[in-house]
Every structure is written in C-alpha cells, then in structure tokens.
Structure 1
Amino acid sequence: MNIINKVTIRHLKQNKRRSLVTIIGVIISVAMITAVATLGVSFLDLMVRQEIEKNGEWHVQYKNVTEEQIEAIEQDSGTQNMVFSSDGYSILEGSQNDFKPYLYFKNYDEEGMEQFPITVSEGRLPTTKEEVAISDVIQDNVEVPFEIGDELTVEVGERVHITDNKLLSQMDSLQTNEGETLEKLDELETKNVTIVGVIDRPAWEPAWSPGYTVIGYVDKATIAKGETLDVFVTVAKLESELFDHADELADKNGIVGVQFNSELLRYYGLTDNDNLRATLFSLAGIIMAVILIGSVALIYNAFAISVSERARHLGMLSSVGATKKQKRNSVFFEGAVIGIISIPIGLLAGLGGIGLTFVFINPLIEDALNITEKLELVITPASLILACSISILTIFISSYVPAKRASKISAIDAMRQTQDIKLVGKNVKTSKWVRKVFGLEAEIGLKNVKRNRKRYLATVFSLVISIVLFLSVTYFTDGLKKSLEMSQTASQFDLQISGSGLDEVDLEIYAQLEQVTKTSLIKSAQAEAFIESDQLPGQLTEQLENGDMFLEDEKFRYYVDLQGIDDASFEAYAKELGIEGDTFAGNRKAIVIDQTSYEDADSGKFIETKTINAEVGNEIELQKILYSETNEQLEGEMLSTFEIAALTDQVPMGVQEAGLGGLTIIIPKTTFEQLDFTEDENSTSIYATSSDPMATQAMIEEQNDNNIQVYNIYQQRQQEEQMILLMSVFIYGFITLISLISIANIFNTISTSISLRKREFAMLRSVGMTPKGFNKMIRYESLFYGGKALAYGLPISIAVMIAMHRSLGYTFQYEFSLPWMSIFFTIVVIFLIVGAAMLYSIIKIKNANIIESLKQENA
C-alpha cells in the first residue's frame, strides 16, 4: 500500500463521523438495490408456484391432436415433457341441481395426475381407463350418494349448443331460455367405469360450470385410430420464441388448436403480446433508472462533501509533491474502501430486510386471501451479481466527479479554502425586497446560500432526487393498480341469484341469511338510443372515420343496458353520488355511467374512455329493441325519455359497465316497472356479498328451488384481488423504503453541510447575531432550499410520470392526470423534513464555543 493510500485510510479513521455517514449512505443504497432485485425475483417465484398449484405446470396446449401429430410434438426439439388429456360430459342421473346436470370427465395420464393439482380425500386416483375418482361435492347433490367400488355405465360426449351448433366447455354455464335447455350431448360413447376414489373439488372448476368433475385415466398407447387427445407440453427452454415455435409446429403438422398458459408464462417474463412486452420493459427501465439516480445522488453527496471537507488534506498532499493522478486515485481508493465495507453489509441488510418483511406479510396473505403458497426468500446469483454490479457502478459514478475535482485542487486554493466559496458580487446579490419583506436575517440566509453554491446545489440536488423518487414511485403504484383494475373484471358482489319471479320478498329472505352482508335486487332489460354525433367520445369518432361504424340519420345507435335497482339500494347509491333519492320519485330521471374500460381487439390495448359526452339535464330517448321471427332487427318502438340527473364512473353492486358503443342507465325499480317490458324482455337477479360465499351458496341451494340459479364469482374475484393486494403491499413497502432513503439523504446532506459551516455560524454569533435572529435566518434558509427543490423537482417528476404513462399506454390507454394529493403531501413533507434537518443540526452546534468553532477544521 503506497503512502497516499495510507494517509487516506488514516484520514478516514480520524473523521469517523463523516466516514460513518458515507458508509451508511452506501449501505442504504446497496440494501435498496438488493431488496428490489430480491423482491422482484421472490414475488415472481410466488406467483409461479401459486399458478402451478392452481392450474398445473404446462406451457403449451395442443388440442385434438392425432397419433401422428403426437409423435411430431414428442420429437420436437422444444418439447421437454408431455401430458395427455381428454374430456367429455355425461348425464348425472338423480342430480339435485338443475343447473349442474352433468358429470365432467377430465382424463389424464399418469404424469398428468402428478402435474395437475388433484387432492385425494378418500381412496386413490385411477390407474386404468375403467377407473374414475369423483368430486366430493357430487355426494351432496344426488339422490343416492356414490360409494367407492360402485360401477357406473355412462354415455360420454361433447356439449353442443342447439342453435349455434358450437362446442361448449366448462367455462360455459348451462344454456337455457325460459326453462328450455338449449344444448345437447353429441358424439356419445358408452363407458363402464368403477369408482376408486374421492377428490376435493378442483380449484379450476368454475362455480357456474354445469358439470361435476370426475377424474379418469387416459393412456396414449391404447388410443384407437382416429381418436384425438389434448397434449399439454412443458418446453425445454423458456424464451420468447416459444410462441412462434409452437404456432409453426402446429401449422406444419395441421394442428388446429394451440393455447398458451399465458398467466404462468407472464410470471416467467414471457408474453406473446408485443404491447404488453413494451410496457413491461419500458416501465422496468424507468424504475431502474429512478433507483440508480437516487443511489448515485445519495452516495455522490457523501463523496462531494468528503472532498470539500478534505480540501486542506488534499492541498497538503499537493504541497509535498502529490500528482493530479495520485490525488484523484486517493478519492477512488476511498470509494473502494467504503465499497468493500458497505457492499457486503448492504447485501445482507437488503436480504435480511426483505426476509423479515416476508415473515410478517405471509400470515396476512394466508389469512386474507386463503392461498396455499407463501413468499419465500429467493436468492439467485443473477440478482446478487446485479446488485453488486449496480452498487460498484454507482460508487464509481458517485466518486468520479469528486475525484476529478480533487485532482484540480492546488495547494494554495486548498489552504485558503476558496474552492467552495466564491465571493463575486453579482453571485451573492439579493433583491432589496428580500430585506424589506422578510428582514435582515432572510437576506443573510439567502447570501449564505448563494455564497456556498456547491453545498447549496448538493442539498437542493438531494431534495430534488427525493421528490422525484417519491412522486415517481407513487405514480407508478397508482398506474399499476389502475392497469390491474382495467384488465380485471369489475364486480362488487360474491353471489348472483337468478330466476323467474324474484321480488322483494326473496330479497328480504336472502338478506337475512347468516353470512350475507349486503343485497341488491336488479331488474334489467335491453333498449337502444340514437345519440347526436357531437356527443360521441373520441374512440367512437375514430371508428366512424375509419369506416368501422356508421351513423343513421346523423345519429349513432347506442345499445342501452337499463338497470332498475330496488328502491332502498338505489337511494343509498344516489346518496353516494350526492343526490337525494326523492329527486327520482314520480319522474323520468336517470343516472348514466359515462366511463368504461374495454380491450381493443385490433391493438390488444386496454382502453378507458367516456361512453358519451353529455351533460346533466340532457335527455335520452329510449326505444324498445324489436326482432322479426327470423331474428332480424326491426325499427324500434318508443319506450320513454329520461333526463340525465347524474353522470358518474361509480358503478353500483351487480351492474356491469357497457362496452364502447353502449350505455348503462340506472333507474329505480319502481320506475323500471312502469315501462312497457314483457316478462320475456327483462330479467331479475339478486346480488349479494357474504363473509362466507361458499357457505351462503350451499344454504341457498339447500332450499331446493329449481327456479333459482346461483353464480358464485367469489373465487374468480379472489384471484383478481389477490393480485392487486400483493402488488399494493410490496409497492407501498417500496414507497416506504424510498421515503426513508430520501429522508436519510436529506438529513445526511443538510446535517453535514451545517457541520461544515460551524466557523461561519461562530463568526455571525461573534458579531452580535442573537439566537432569535439566528433561528430566523435558518428558517428562511429552509424555505429557500425547499422552494428551489420544488421548482426543479416537480417539473422533473411530472416528466417522469408522463414517460410512465406513455409506457403504460402501449397496453393500457387512459387519460393522464396528476396525483394532486401526492404532490400536496410532498410539498408539505419537503418543508417539514428540511426544517427538521436544519433544527436537528442547529441544536447540535448551538452551544459550541465560538473560539473553538473558529479554529475547528473538521466535524
């Protein structure tokens, strides 16, 4: 070790406080980078495991493939593992649930039994084609329960819609109209099977599906000529090319149906949606840039202040013959020493912090969401190398400018300490209004700020970075939640109860069930309205210009979802909007939902737009939709004219937003019943929320009312809420971390800057400045720092927000709006933090001896 490096280490030891502050700053920066990288990897690992637990591990599904096509898939270089499957429906004799009349046979080979989530509660899984395992819920819905060992003779086939002649799946509920079944079983094959086990109801069976799951066995080796199977493939290498490769394989071998496990592949970072990929990569780049800039700012300030403090030390080295290179390398060596100490501690702190967060968050996730998987601390070499590389790069960038500056310090300048303070008249000149309005103390404070320009800029830079960090991450959080809400189905209820003849009596009965927390009865019907072209939103106008849609007599035909809500629920909804319920009594006034989100089929974007550019007080004339016997739409019949009483984006429970080109109109049920709708032209449903939706569904079905159908969407919505909650927890945790780092950055910069001004403060006290005047000067300095930081920080933050909005715009299109509450919060907090940091620093030095402070060189 050369003499320069030895002197540098000794200087670090002598200035323990400054060295410790710098080391802590680097540790915080490294911990942040490590925590973010580990959090991302661990979160994706959780989502991968949860998705596999729910729907099995597979990447590509080839549907209805023949024996020759199976061989082609098996020999493909991209195929790692194959699972064979088939399915079909048979009539469930003695079913007590009119809306679940089928057994749904889902057959897997031996690998499929292991790869897909199937839980055996009694007996075992089938091992031959003549064996099956039934779902436990079947036992509660048949006249005579089945037992293990029972033999069944069933006819298995495909569900086919009678009118459309299309195949139906488990995602399609039983097709009926006024009690008449609109589907049949086709391609029937007789099978004799023996029950060998009972399984828990699979998570992948929708509550509204018409068939109870039965697990069967399929063997590729025994399939007959002409039979087809579904093949689930896990690929050998997860890369974006797998989408094109699978499509090419299908085209080459004449395979008609190809489906990808999009949810699982997305968690691996793969998607066949170019817009979504652009969104993910651009957002990741912006966030990493914000983190990197924040880290550089934090460490740079520590090194910049270090060089200012070491000016005389570097001047001494220069006076005894140190070259520019040696002085520059002195700062680089200091950075290396601090990095060697800080990076390992930062890595451990980041990993430990995230691990501790997981310990606290796992019970919350498990209890609130009832998911089976837990967050695990996933440490990958790639994430550690990334954290170390970014940290080393950050330290190098942070020390480069101070090192270059150190190399230029001459012995005379260093000893006179003229490199920081520039006493040029025009640079410290202040307006005469400053003294008149704020007083002498404010003028002295402003001159001090201008005189110590580099320290002042370092402090303002720290504040600006803190503002940008906080507002950027806050906007990112809001944008991500907005995107998730747009891409998920909006539903505010757990159960939908449908059937003929439902009325307020039924509503009262269901409302009194033990777990039910809220109910609403809605009568709905379809109508149409012709709207003037100047009231159309931009999205519709574009489609009209492109020729995708057309006007009729200079008006656009809107399809209207007319919703009549029971009076009590409607009055509560109106009050939420600030309207008294009696406004709608005895007249034709309505609430219009004027905003919707939809997925554009051509671009693949999720778009949020206005449904209509109308104003309160405008009238909408509704017409009844009429069809001929050949199902051709006829000219509409006048129904009623409604005045718009309110325009809102708030949707009441049970109501779905109409898509583009449609309107959702909300009226009281009493008004709805005055309209000329026949029983066939409207439908009635009761919507309910429940503390235990599954138990509530069972209680309703136990009433054995064959006219009632219960749709339980709780499980579907639970997964959507799980995504939003998990994202919110981690992103708000990230905001907290960013906020703490920003506060630490500001306190570090200001307290160190104040410590370096001990001589200056001692001089002011020596010429008669009172403690009151001194505190007043410091308060005004705080205002100058905060005001200047906001003047730069807010425009930069808005620019970053716009960049994020454009990144999200590749996939999610909605209007840009500023987070005013976050901006107001930031303004208040900046002044509080600056004031607190100033006050903390002043308290530490206010009792210092004037003579000692004038002689003191280092903190």
Structure 2
Amino acid sequence: MNIINKVTIRHMRQNKRRSLVTIIGVIISVAMIAAVTTLGVSFLDLMVRQEISKNGEWHVQYEHVNKQQIQAIKQDGATEKVILSSGGYATLEGSTNAYKPYLYFQNYDEQGLAQFPMTVSEGRLPASEEEVAISSVIQENIEMPVQIGDQLTVEIGQRIHEVEGKVLTQTDSLQISDGQSFEKLDNLETKTVTITGILDRPEWEPAWSPGYTVVGFIDKNKLDESETFDAFVVVSKLKTGLYDHAKTFADDNGIEKVEFNSDLLRYYGVTGNDRLRLTLFSLATIIMVVILIGSVALIYNAFAISVSERARHLGMLSSVGATKKQKRNSVFFEGAVIGAISIPIGLLAGFGGISLTFVFINTFIEDALNISEKLELVVTPSSLLLSCGISILTIFISTYLPAKKAAKISAIDAIRQTEDIKLSGENLKTSKWVRKIFGLEAEIGLKNAKRNRKRYLALVFSLVISIVLFLSVTYFTDGLKQSMEMVRSDSQYDLQISGNGVGESDLPKYRQLQHVTEATMIKSTWAEALIEPERLPERFAAQLETGEVALEDGKFRYYVDIHGLDDASFEVYAKKLGMNAETFGQGSLKAIVIDQVSYEDAASGQFVQTKTILSDVGDAIDLYSQPYDEAGEPAEKERLSTFEIAALTNEVPMGVETAVLGGLNVIIPEKAFEQLKLTDDQFMHSIYAMSTDPIATQEAIEEQNDMTIQVQNVYRQRQQEEQMILLMSVFTYGFITLISLISIANIFNTISTSISLRKREFAMLRSVGMTPKGFTKMIRYESLFYGVKALAIGLPLSIAVMFAMHWSLGYTFQYGFTLPWMSILFVVLMIFLIVGAAMLYATAKIKNDTIIESLKQENA
C-alpha cells in the first residue's frame, strides 16, 4: 500500500462519523438493489413453481398428432421431453350432481404421470391401459360409491354440441338450458378398467367442468396408427424463438393445431407478445435507472462532502509532491475501501431483509394469490452479479466527480480554502425585490447559498432526486394498479343466477338465502344505435380513417346493451351518482350511459381504456332492433325508442359487464322497459348476488335441483384479483416507504453536514450583530429558497419520468395520462417540512457554540 492510500485510511479513521455515515449510505443502497433484484427473481420462481404444480411443466402442445408425427416431434432438435395425453367422456351412472353427469378420462404415458401434478391419497397410479385412478370427489357425488379394486365398464367418447356440431372440452360447461341438454356423446368405445388409486381433485380440473377426472394410462409401445394424441413438449432451450419454431414445425409436419403454455413461459421471461416484452423490459430499465440515480444521490453527497472536508489535507499532499493522479486515486481508493466493507454487508442485509419479509408474507400469500406454494429466497448468480455490478457502478459514479475535483485542488487554494467560495459581484447578485418583500435576512440567506454554489447545488440535487424518486415510484405503483384493474374482469358479484326459470318474483327468495348480503336483478336486452362520426371517440375515429371500420348511411352502428335494474338497486345506483331515481320514471325515457371502458384489443394485444362515445348529458340516442327475414338476411331496422342521456359515468353497477369499443352500456330502471315495447322473448332476467360464503350459497341453490336455472360462481377469480392488487400494494408502498426514508436521511445528512461546515460563516454573522431571531429567520428563508429551487427542477423531471413510464406501459395498456395531483401536493408540503426541520435541527446543534471557537474552526 502506497503512502497516499495510507494517509487516506488514516483520514477516514480520524473522521469516523462521516466515514460511518457514508458506509451506512452505501449499505442501504446495496441492500435496496439486492432486495429488488432478489424479490423479482424469487417472485418469478414462485409463479413458475405454482404454475407447474397446477398445470404441469410443459412448453408446447401439439394437438391430435398420430404415431408418425409423434416420432417427428421426438426427433426435433428443440425437444427435450415428450408427454402423450388423450381424453374422453363417459356417462357417470348414479351421479347426484346434475351439472356433472360425466367421467372425464385423462390418460397419460409414464412420463406424463410423473410430469403432471397429481396427489395420490390412497392406492397408486395406473401402470397399464386397463387401470385407472379416480378423483376422490366422485365417491362423494355418486349413489353407490366405488372403491379400489372395483371394475368399471364404460363407453368413452367425445362431447358434441348437437346444434353447432363442435367438439366440447373440459373448459366448456354443460350445454343445458331449461332442463334440456344440447350435447351428446359420440364415437363411443367400450372399455373395462380397474380402479387402482384415489386422487385428490386435480388443480387443472375446472370447477365448472361437467366431468369428474379419471386418470388413465397410455402404453407408448402399443400405439395404434389410427389413434391421435396430444403431445406436450418440454423444450431443451427456453428462448423466444420457440414460438416461431413450433409453428413452422407444425406446418412442416401437417399438425393442425399448436398451443403454448403461455403463463409458464411468461414467468420464465419468454413471451410471444412483443408488446408485453417491450413493456416489461422498458419498465425494468426505468425502475433500475431510478434506483441507480437514487443510490448515486445518496452516496455522491457523502464523497462530495468528504472532499470539501479534506480540501486542506489534499492541498498539503499537493505541496509535498502528490500528483493529480495520486489525489484523484485517493478518492477512488476511499470509494473502494467503503465498497469492500459495504457491498458484502449490504448484500447480506438485502437478502436477509427480503427473507424476513417472505416469512411474514407467506402467512397470508396463499389466500392473497390463491396458490399453494410459498415464497422462497432465490439468489441466482445473475442476480448476485447484477446487484454487485450496479453497486460498484453506483460507487464509481458517486466518486468520479469528487475525484476530478480533488485532482484540481492546488496547494495555495486548499490552504486558503477559497475553492468553494465565489465572491464575484455577478455571482452574488440578487433581485432588489427579495429584500423589499422578505427582508434583509432573506437576502443574506440567498447570498449565502450563492457564495458556496457547489454545496448549494449538491443540496438542491438531493432534494430533486428525492422528489423524482418518490413521484416516480408512486406513479409506477398507480400505473400498475390501473393496469391490473384493466386486466381484471369487471364482475362485481359472487354469483350469477340465470336461465328461463328466473323471473321478476324470484329476487326476494334469493335475497333471503343464508350468507347473501346483497342481490340485484337485471332485466337485459340489446339493440342498435346509429352514431354520427363526430361523436365517435378518438380511437374509433382513427379506425374509421384507416378503413378498419365502415359507416352505414353516414353513421356508425353501435351495439347497445340495455340493463334494467330492479327498483331498489337502481335507487342505490342513482344515489351513488348524486341523482334522483324518481325522475327516471317520469316523461320520456332517460338512461345512464357508461362512457368509459377497459378491454383487450384483439388486433394489437393491448389493454385499452377509452371513452365509448363523445356525448353530453341531454343528448338523445335512437334505439333500433334488427329483424331478419325468412332467409336469415337482415331486414329493415325497426325503431324501438329514443332515450335521453341523463348521466355519463364510469361507475358500473353490480352485474353489468362493460362493452368493448363500438358498444354502449345503458342503465335504466326495470319499469322503463315498458317504453321499449319488447316481447317477453326479447329480454332475459339474471340475479347477481354477493355472499359471505359463495360456495355454501351455490350449494344451497343447486340443492333445489331446478334445471331451468344455471349458477355461475366468480367469487374465486374476483377474490384472487382483489387480493393480488392488495399484495402488490403492500410491496410497492413498502418500496415507496424505503425510498422516502432514504431520501429523508439523505437530506438530513446533507443539510446537517453543510451547516456544520458553515460554522465560521454563521459565527461571522453573529459577530457583526445578527440576533438569534434574525438568524432563525435567515435559515427559514434559506430553507424556502432550497425548497422552491428543488421543486422548480424536480417536478418537471418527475413529470418527464412519469410520462416515460406511461409510454412504456402504453405498449400493452392504453389509458389517458393523468398527473397524480395529490402525490404532487404531498411532495410540495413534505419538501418544505423536511428541509425546514433539517435546517432547524442542524442549526440547533451549533446554536450554543461560542463565536471565538467557531471562527477558529478549520476543515481538516
């Protein structure tokens, strides 16, 4: 170790407080970087494990492939494993659940039985084509329960829709209406099998599927040339090109249909949606840049202050022959020493902190995300290297400017300590209005800031970074929440009861069911409206110009969903909008229009939030029906009615699902349906209910064995979406809190150190007669100047960063850019509060210092 480095270490030991503050700052910065990278990797690992535990590990699915095509798949260079699967339905004799009349035979080869998630509660999995394992729920829903060792003789075939002729799968619910079934089993094959095991109900069996799962076996050595199977492929290398490769391979080998395990591939970072990938990468880049800037701001000030304190020390080194390179390297060496101490501790702190967070979160994450797996700390070599690399880069950037400054310090300037003080008249010039409006103390405070411009800018820089960090992370959080709101379904109910068996008189009956807290009945129908081009929203107008949509008689055809709420529900809904429900039943037809919708655009893959129509309250819209002639061709439109827009809102009542662009949701009271002059077969009734126990409520309804109604339970999906947003809010607001605490600590450290270095300056002012009251007034105005300057720079920068985030999200989610005014107001108040508190805290520490001792102070 050379003499310069030895002197640097000795100086660090003599200034233990400053060195410790710098080390703690770097530790916090490194811990934050490590925690963020580890959180991302660990959360993706959780989602990967959860997806595998639910749907198995596979990447590409080739449907209905024969023996020859299976051989080609195995020989494909991109294939690592091939799993064969087939399925079929058989009637379940003695089923006590009218909505589940089938057994669904899901057959796998030996590889599939190991690869797909199945939990055997009793017995074993099948080992031959004459053996099966059945779901445990079958025993609970059959008149004569079966046991291990029993034989089943069944006729297995395909579910076919009798009207449409299409093949139905497990994702298709039972095709039944008014007690009449519209499906049948076809291509039946008789088979006798022996039960060898009992399974827990598989996760991959949809709750609404009409068949109970039975797992069978496929013997790969007995494949028939005429049989077809589904081939699930695990690829050897996960990369984006697998999408194009699989499609090309399917075309080359005559395979008609290929599917991808999109959820699992997305968690691996492989997605065929270029817009989504661009969104993820650009967002990750913006967040990393924000963290990097915050970390640099935190550490830079410590080294800048260190160089200011060491000015005389560096000047002495210069006077005894130290070169510019040696002085510059002494600052870099100080950064290296601090990094060597701080980075390992910071990494351990980051990993340890996030690990403790996982312990806390795992107590409720299962319910929040509806998952069975736990968050585990995952530290990959890439995340470790990324954390170290960003931390080293942060320290280097933080030391670079102070190192350059140290290299330029001459011996004379350092000993006289004139480098930071600029006394030219031009630099100290202030407006005459400052003294007239605020007084002499304010002018002195402003001149104090101008005298040491670099220290003044360093403090303003800290404030600006704090503003940008807080507003950026807040906007990022709000943007993610809004994006998730756009993706989630707008079902605001737990249960939907529909069918011809539901009538106007049934609402009280369902409201009285146990656990039901709220219920509404909606009488619904649809109509058409012709809308003028000038009333089309911007996105629709653009499609009109490009020819994607066309006009009809100079107007555009809108599909209008008309929803008639029962009187009690409509009164509550109108009151929420600040309207009187009674006015809707008087005179002409009045309606509330949902004028803002969120939907996924099929062409671009974007999630769009947009206005549905450009109209004002009081505008009228004509409604038409579209009859068809005997040949099925559209006949002349019939005018139904005209309604007046009584309100435009984005508030959606329970049970109403918003339309896509080109559609309107119109809300009216149920009694207003009389003005539409519709026949009974032109509308339908549905009841939507909220329940404290939706499962029990559904079972109570199904126990009525009324085949004229259907019950749809959306509770699980809606609960998962809501708790996902809640969990994300916990993480993001935790991050905001961390950013805020770091920013506050940075500001306090910078201001207190700056005040400490100005002891001589303050002592001179007191020695020429400045009173304690005047001194306090000067500090307050100086705080005001710092805050105003920081806000003048920080707010525009923050808006630019927020717009960049909005642009990034715009690749996948399209919604209007709005400023978070409440967050901006909060920042303005907090900046003045923090700066003022920090200035008062720092000056309180030097208030009792004597003038003589302060004048003798040297920054050595």
Shorter chain as normaliser: what TM range?
over 0.9
Distance 1:592 1:212 in 2: 43
Whether the 8 Å contact between 2:584 and 2:591 is mirrored in structure 1 is yes
In the TM superposition, residue 140 of structure 1 has moved relative to its aligned partner by: 4.2
Question: Can you list the C-alpha shifts for 1:20-46, whole angstroms capped at 9, x where unaligned?
Answer: 111111111111111111111111111
In the TM superposition, residue 643 of structure 1 has moved relative to its aligned partner by: 1.1
SS at match of 2:769: coil
Aligned residue in 2 for 1:304? 304
In the TM superposition, residue 468 of structure 1 has moved relative to its aligned partner by: 0.9
Per the alignment, do residues 605 and 253 of structure 1 end up closer, same or farther by CA in structure 2, a change over 3 Å counting? same
Whether the 8 Å contact between 2:311 and 2:859 is mirrored in structure 1 is no
Moved more, 209-218 or 83-92: 209-218
Distance 2:299 2:220 in 1: 63
Per the alignment, do residues 654 and 121 of structure 1 end up closer, same or farther by CA in structure 2, a change over 3 Å counting? farther
Alignment of 1:145-544 (within 5 A): 145-503=145-503, 505-544=505-544
In the TM superposition, residue 759 of structure 1 has moved relative to its aligned partner by: 1.2
SS at match of 2:226: coil
In the TM superposition, residue 134 of structure 1 has moved relative to its aligned partner by: 2.9
Question: Can you list the C-alpha shifts for 1:94-128, whole angstroms capped at 9, x where unaligned?
Answer: 43444333222222223322322223344433332
Q: Which amino acid aligns with 1:51?
A: E
Q: Which amino acid aligns with 1:218?
A: I
In the TM superposition, residue 226 of structure 1 has moved relative to its aligned partner by: 0.9
SS at match of 2:32: helix
In the TM superposition, residue 513 of structure 1 has moved relative to its aligned partner by: 3.0
SS at match of 1:294: helix
User: Does 1:651 find its partner at 2:652?
Assistant: yes
In the TM superposition, residue 61 of structure 1 has moved relative to its aligned partner by: 0.9
Distance 2:671 2:219 in 1: 60
Whether the 8 Å contact between 1:207 and 1:712 is mirrored in structure 2 is no
Question: Can you list the C-alpha shifts for 1:782-812, whole angstroms capped at 9, x where unaligned?
Answer: 1111111111111111111111111112222
Distance 1:411 1:546 in 2: 71
In the TM superposition, residue 553 of structure 1 has moved relative to its aligned partner by: 1.7
Whether the 8 Å contact between 2:499 and 2:685 is mirrored in structure 1 is yes
In the TM superposition, residue 471 of structure 1 has moved relative to its aligned partner by: 1.1
User: Does 1:5 find its partner at 2:17?
Assistant: no
Distance 1:271 1:477 in 2: 23
The number of aligned residues is 859
Question: Can you list the C-alpha shifts for 1:698-748, whole angstroms capped at 9, x where unaligned?
Answer: 222122222221111223334434543343322222222211221122112
Distance 2:712 2:731 in 1: 32
Moved more, 619-628 or 134-143: 134-143
Whether the 8 Å contact between 1:106 and 1:214 is mirrored in structure 2 is yes
Distance 1:716 1:171 in 2: 15
Aligned residue in 2 for 1:835? 836
SS at match of 1:363: coil
In the TM superposition, residue 73 of structure 1 has moved relative to its aligned partner by: 1.2
Question: Can you list the C-alpha shifts for 1:484-510, whole angstroms capped at 9, x where unaligned?
Answer: 222232221222111224245533333
In the TM superposition, residue 276 of structure 1 has moved relative to its aligned partner by: 1.1
Moved more, 298-307 or 634-643: 634-643
SS at match of 1:160: strand
Alignment of 1:659-674 (within 5 A): 659-672=660-673
Question: Can you list the C-alpha shifts for 1:285-328, whole angstroms capped at 9, x where unaligned?
Answer: 11111111111121111111111111111111111221111111
Whether the 8 Å contact between 1:332 and 1:403 is mirrored in structure 2 is yes
Distance 2:126 2:634 in 1: 52
User: Does 1:787 find its partner at 2:791?
Assistant: no
Whether the 8 Å contact between 1:208 and 1:710 is mirrored in structure 2 is no
Aligned residue in 2 for 1:599? 600
SS at match of 1:286: helix
Aligned residue in 2 for 1:697? 698
Per the alignment, do residues 326 and 169 of structure 1 end up closer, same or farther by CA in structure 2, a change over 3 Å counting? same
Question: Can you list the C-alpha shifts for 1:815-841, whole angstroms capped at 9, x where unaligned?
Answer: 111111111111111111111211221
Distance 2:178 2:322 in 1: 96
Q: Which amino acid aligns with 2:291?
A: I
Q: Which amino acid aligns with 2:713?
A: N
Question: Can you list the C-alpha shifts for 1:530-560, whole angstroms capped at 9, x where unaligned?
Answer: 1112111122222222222221221111111
Alignment of 1:31-42 (within 5 A): 31-42=31-42
Whether the 8 Å contact between 2:31 and 2:350 is mirrored in structure 1 is yes
SS at match of 2:363: helix
Whether the 8 Å contact between 2:529 and 2:622 is mirrored in structure 1 is yes
Moved more, 478-487 or 41-50: 478-487
Aligned residue in 1 for 2:750? 749
In the TM superposition, residue 179 of structure 1 has moved relative to its aligned partner by: 4.3
SS at match of 2:159: strand
In the TM superposition, residue 178 of structure 1 has moved relative to its aligned partner by: 4.6
Moved more, 796-805 or 598-607: 598-607
Distance 2:586 2:99 in 1: 39
Distance 1:694 1:393 in 2: 54
Aligned residue in 1 for 2:686? 685
In the TM superposition, residue 525 of structure 1 has moved relative to its aligned partner by: 0.9
Moved more, 262-271 or 560-569: 560-569
What runs of 5+ residues in structure 1 fail to find an aligned partner? none
Q: Which amino acid aligns with 2:833?
A: L
In the TM superposition, residue 424 of structure 1 has moved relative to its aligned partner by: 1.0
In the TM superposition, residue 369 of structure 1 has moved relative to its aligned partner by: 4.3
Moved more, 149-158 or 762-771: 149-158
Q: Which amino acid aligns with 1:492?
A: Q
Aligned residue in 1 for 2:105? 105
Q: Which amino acid aligns with 1:235?
A: V
Distance 1:103 1:672 in 2: 44
Distance 1:159 1:367 in 2: 35
Whether the 8 Å contact between 1:97 and 1:706 is mirrored in structure 2 is no
Per the alignment, do residues 293 and 808 of structure 1 end up closer, same or farther by CA in structure 2, a change over 3 Å counting? same
Q: Which amino acid aligns with 1:484?
A: M
What runs of 5+ residues in structure 2 fail to find an aligned partner? none
Moved more, 308-317 or 121-130: 121-130
Whether the 8 Å contact between 2:178 and 2:501 is mirrored in structure 1 is no
Aligned residue in 1 for 2:740? 739
Distance 1:716 1:367 in 2: 12
In the TM superposition, residue 206 of structure 1 has moved relative to its aligned partner by: 2.4
Distance 2:507 2:137 in 1: 27
Distance 2:74 2:719 in 1: 37
Per the alignment, do residues 118 and 685 of structure 1 end up closer, same or farther by CA in structure 2, a change over 3 Å counting? farther
Alignment of 1:839-850 (within 5 A): 839-850=840-851
Distance 1:209 1:632 in 2: 36
Percent identity, please: 73
Whether the 8 Å contact between 2:504 and 2:685 is mirrored in structure 1 is no
Whether the 8 Å contact between 1:279 and 1:809 is mirrored in structure 2 is yes
Whether the 8 Å contact between 1:591 and 1:667 is mirrored in structure 2 is yes
Whether the 8 Å contact between 2:74 and 2:82 is mirrored in structure 1 is yes
Q: Which amino acid aligns with 2:131?
A: E
Per the alignment, do residues 387 and 718 of structure 1 end up closer, same or farther by CA in structure 2, a change over 3 Å counting? same
Question: Can you list the C-alpha shifts for 1:48-87, whole angstroms capped at 9, x where unaligned?
Answer: 1111122111111111111111111112222222221111
Q: Which amino acid aligns with 2:692?
A: S
SS at match of 1:743: helix
Q: Which amino acid aligns with 2:239?
A: E
Distance 1:460 1:330 in 2: 27
Instruction: State the TM-score, normalized to the length of structure 2.
Output: 0.97
Whether the 8 Å contact between 1:527 and 1:561 is mirrored in structure 2 is yes
Whether the 8 Å contact between 1:207 and 1:713 is mirrored in structure 2 is no
SS at match of 2:502: coil
Distance 2:91 2:554 in 1: 53
Per the alignment, do residues 669 and 131 of structure 1 end up closer, same or farther by CA in structure 2, a change over 3 Å counting? farther
In the TM superposition, residue 430 of structure 1 has moved relative to its aligned partner by: 1.3
Whether the 8 Å contact between 2:50 and 2:372 is mirrored in structure 1 is yes
SS at match of 1:638: strand
Per the alignment, do residues 196 and 717 of structure 1 end up closer, same or farther by CA in structure 2, a change over 3 Å counting? farther
User: Does 1:707 find its partner at 2:711?
Assistant: no
